[in-house]
C-alpha cells in the first residue's frame, strides 16, 4: 500500500483489542483468536485502548453490522461534510482512488456509524476532526494531523456502572491499579457488541459483568460462577 494511502487510513479506529463476540464470522481478538460467543467471556476483560490502524480491513466487516443503517444522517450536516473531506483527501493524495468516490463515501459512512456506536458522539467528533484536518493538509506532511489522530485514538466512551464496577473489582482482586482506560475499554467492548449483535447482546454482557463483580476474588479471577449469564451471552450474541 502506498504511504499516502496508509496515512489516509491511519485515523481509523482499530477494534482489534475489542473482540467481537456477536458475529459468527472471524474477527481479530486480543490473543489472535477469532470472535465468537466464547470470546465474550474471555476477551471482555481486555483493557487495551484503541489504536490507530494502517489498513482498511479493520473496519471492513462493518457492512453487516446493524449500525450501518442507523444513527447517522449521511445526507446533511457534519456526517456528509466529514466523509466528503475524507474522500477529498484520498483523491488528492492517492491518484489511484479516482473513480471510487462512491465506495469511499460509503466506507467512511459505515466507519462513522461504528465509531459512533462504539465510542459515542464525543469521540465521533474527534474522528471527524481528523478527516477535516487530512483534507486541509499537504500529502507530503505525514505528521500534519498527528495531534488530531492522537486525540481521536485516545478517546473512549463514558463507562457505565457495570464497567466501572468491573474495573474496580479487577484492581481489588489483582492488588494493583488497573489502567485509567480500563473501564472505558470495557464499555467500548460492550458497545461494539451492541453494534454487531444488538441491544440484547450488550445487556447480556452487562449482566455477566455485574455477576462477576459479586463473586469472591478467586472465582472472579477464574471467571467461574456466572455460567447462567454466560449462557445468556451465547444466546443473545448469536454464539454457537
> Do residues 142 and 167 both lie within one domain?
no
Residues shown for the chain:
240
pLDDT of residue 30: 27
**In the chain, pLDDT over 70 holds for what percent of residues?**
66
pLDDT of residue 70: 38
Show which of 153, 175, 198 is a domain's final residue: 153
Greater model confidence, 7 or 215 = 215
Partnered with residue 34 across adjacent β-strands are: 28
> Do residues 51 and 107 both lie within one domain?
yes
* CA 178/CA 225 separation, integer angstroms: 23
> Do residues 197 and 168 both lie within one domain?
yes
* CA 98/CA 150 separation, integer angstroms: 29
* pLDDT tens column, 128-156: 999 999 999 999 987 899 999 999 999 99
As given in the structure block, the three cell numbers for residue 214 are 459479586
* pLDDT tens column, 22-67: 332 332 322 322 233 333 334 333 333 333 332 222 233 332 333 3
- Mean pLDDT in residue range 5-27: 30
State the average pLDDT for the chain: 73
> Do residues 78 and 45 both lie within one domain?
yes
CB-neighbour burial class of residue 157 (10 A; exposed 0-12, middle 13-18, buried 19+) = buried
- Inform me whether the pLDDT recorded for 206 exceeds 70: yes
- Mean pLDDT in residue range 207-229: 94
Most confident of 4-18, 62-76, 128-142: 128-142
pTM over 0.85: no
For residue 99, the 8-state DSSP code is T
What is the domain extent for residue 105? 3-153
> HSE on the CB side for 237, CA within 13 Å?
36
Question: What's the structural domain count of the chain?
Answer: 2
Task: Output phi, psi for 77, to 5 deg.
Answer: 75, -155
- Inform me whether the pLDDT recorded for 12 exceeds 90: no
Show which of 134, 153, 172 is a domain's final residue: 153
Contact 181, 163 (CB under 8 A): no
pLDDT of residue 188: 95
- Mean pLDDT in residue range 69-95: 70
> Do residues 44 and 71 both lie within one domain?
yes
Greater model confidence, 9 or 93 = 93
> Do residues 84 and 113 both lie within one domain?
yes
> Do residues 98 and 183 both lie within one domain?
no
| Torsion angle of C-alpha atoms 68, 70, 71, 72, degrees rounded to 10 | 60
Predicted confidence band of residue 95 (pLDDT cuts 50, 70, 90):
confident
> Do residues 205 and 182 both lie within one domain?
yes
* CA 47/CA 203 separation, integer angstroms: 20
> Do residues 36 and 72 both lie within one domain?
yes
Greater model confidence, 142 or 114 = 114
* Closest of 144, 157, 200, 223 to residue 15, by C-alpha: 157
Contact 22, 193 (CB under 8 A): yes
> Do residues 110 and 128 both lie within one domain?
yes
> Do residues 70 and 120 both lie within one domain?
yes
pLDDT of residue 141: 85
Show which of 99, 132, 153 is a domain's final residue: 153
> Do residues 29 and 83 both lie within one domain?
yes
Amino acid at each position: 500500500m502506498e504511504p499516502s494511502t496508509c496515512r489516509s487510513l491511519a485515523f481509523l479506529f482499530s477494534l482489534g483489542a475489542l473482540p467481537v463476540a456477536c458475529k459468527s464470522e472471524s474477527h481479530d481478538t486480543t490473543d489472535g483468536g477469532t470472535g465468537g460467543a466464547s470470546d465474550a467471556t474471555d476477551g471482555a476483560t481486555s483493557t487495551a485502548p484503541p489504536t490507530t490502524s494502517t489498513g482498511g480491513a479493520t473496519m471492513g466487516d462493518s457492512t453487516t453490522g446493524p449500525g450501518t443503517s442507523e444513527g447517522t444522517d449521511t445526507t446533511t450536516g457534519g456526517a456528509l461534510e466529514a466523509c466528503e473531506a475524507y474522500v477529498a483527501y484520498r483523491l488528492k493524495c492517492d491518484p489511484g482512488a479516482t473513480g471510487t468516490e462512491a465506495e469511499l463515501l460509503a466506507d467512511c459512512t459505515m466507519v462513522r456509524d461504528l465509531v459512533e456506536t462504539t465510542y459515542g458522539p464525543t469521540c465521533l467528533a474527534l474522528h471527524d476532526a481528523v478527516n477535516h484536518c487530512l483534507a486541509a493538509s499537504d500529502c507530503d506532511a505525514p505528521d500534519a494531523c498527528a495531534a488530531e489522530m492522537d486525540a481521536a485514538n485516545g478517546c473512549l466512551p463514558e463507562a457505565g456502572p457495570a464497567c466501572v464496577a468491573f474495573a474496580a473489582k479487577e484492581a481489588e482482586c489483582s492488588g494493583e491499579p488497573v489502567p485509567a482506560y480500563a473501564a472505558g475499554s470495557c464499555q467500548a467492548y460492550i458497545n461494539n457488541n451492541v453494534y454487531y449483535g444488538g441491544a440484547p447482546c450488550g445487556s447480556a454482557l452487562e449482566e455477566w459483568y455485574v455477576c462477576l463483580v459479586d463473586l469472591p476474588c478467586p472465582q472472579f479471577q477464574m471467571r467461574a460462577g456466572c455460567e447462567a449469564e454466560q449462557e445468556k451471552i451465547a444466546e443473545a450474541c448469536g454464539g454457537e
